[in-house]
Amino acid sequence: MGTRAPDRDRLSWTFFEIDVGKEANACGGTVDFRDESKEWYEGAPEQIVTPPWPHGNFGPMKLYGEECTYSANGENPGILNCKNFLKAASYHQDNKKEQGAEIVGHCGSSAAGSEEYEVHPVAFCEW
C-alpha cells in the first residue's frame, strides 16, 4: 500500500498481513512492515493519487510466521518470497490502484495528536 505523510511530503510502501478476501485496515490495522529507508520524494504528493508500482527489495519481514522478502522492478506488482514456502507468490494489481483521488484514505489527526497520513491500495498477494 502506498503511504504518504503530508507533513513530511514523502512516500513509502507499507505491508499488511491480512486474511484472504479481506481488505487491509490501513488506518487502524497492524502495519507488518514499512521500509522507511526506501521512501521517495519525487512526485510526492501527486503520486499518492496515481501511485507507481513498488520498486526495489523490501524486507526481511515476518508474514504468517515466515521470514519473507518482497521484490519488484517498478513495472508490475512484484513477487513475495517466503523462506519455507514451496514457491514465490505473485502480487496482483488491486482494483483500487487506478481509481484516483476518491480512493485515497486519510488517516490520523494532528489535532488528536496522532500521525496524519494518506494511503492508497496498490497490490495484493494470495497463495
pLDDT, tens digit, for every residue of 16-58? 888 877 888 877 766 667 767 777 766 666 777 888 888 889 8
Residues 6+ positions from 3 with CB-CB distance below 8 Å: 11, 12, 13, 14, 26, 34, 117, 118, 119
Residue 21, phi-psi category: left (phi > 0), alpha (psi -120 to 50), beta (remainder)? left
| Residue 24, CA atoms < 13 Å, CB-side half-sphere | 23
Residue 99 has pLDDT above 80, yes or no: yes
Q: Of 54, 42, 77, 75, nearest to 2 (Cα)?
A: 54
Residue 2 has pLDDT above 70, yes or no: no
